[in-house]
Amino acid sequence: MTTKTYLVEDNAVIRENLVGFLEDIADATVVAYASGEAEAVDWLRNHRDSWDVAIVDLFLDQGNGLGVVSACRERARHQKVVVLSNYATPDMRARTKALGADAFFDKSAEIELLLDYCEKLSRRND
């Protein structure tokens, strides 16, 4: 089953590449995206049942990904929140986990791990 994915990424080039990777490799469909915190939080609140996984960058055009992760605390059990950031310090990994993130991947070194994670989610839903 295709995983419905919501992207929160402000860099258009990275976003387009992620969409391609996710749809081609991880059997995911990107249902929507946002480039800022307020836009992302608003979409997530108004589309509670429209996504299976949210992939969130920490540094955004407006606000930050920590607010987005925190806003996802009231999600359904099957919905996963993944942080994808270049700021992959141990402290930031722990902080996002404390806010409710299910996984954290380093944007510069762990894209393949992210794709594997999403592919496993897709197979779980079969």
- Averaged confidence pLDDT in the chain: 95
Element containing residue 28 per DSSP (H, E): strand 28-34
pLDDT interval class at 123 (50, 70, 90): confident
What is the torsional sign of CA 94, 52, 20, 14? Answer: negative
Domain-wise residue ranges, the chain: 3-121
pLDDT band at 126 (very low <50, low <70, confident <90, very high): low
| pLDDT (0 to 100) of residue 124 | 75
3-121 belongs to CATH 3.30.70.260:
no
- The whole model's pTM is what? 0.95
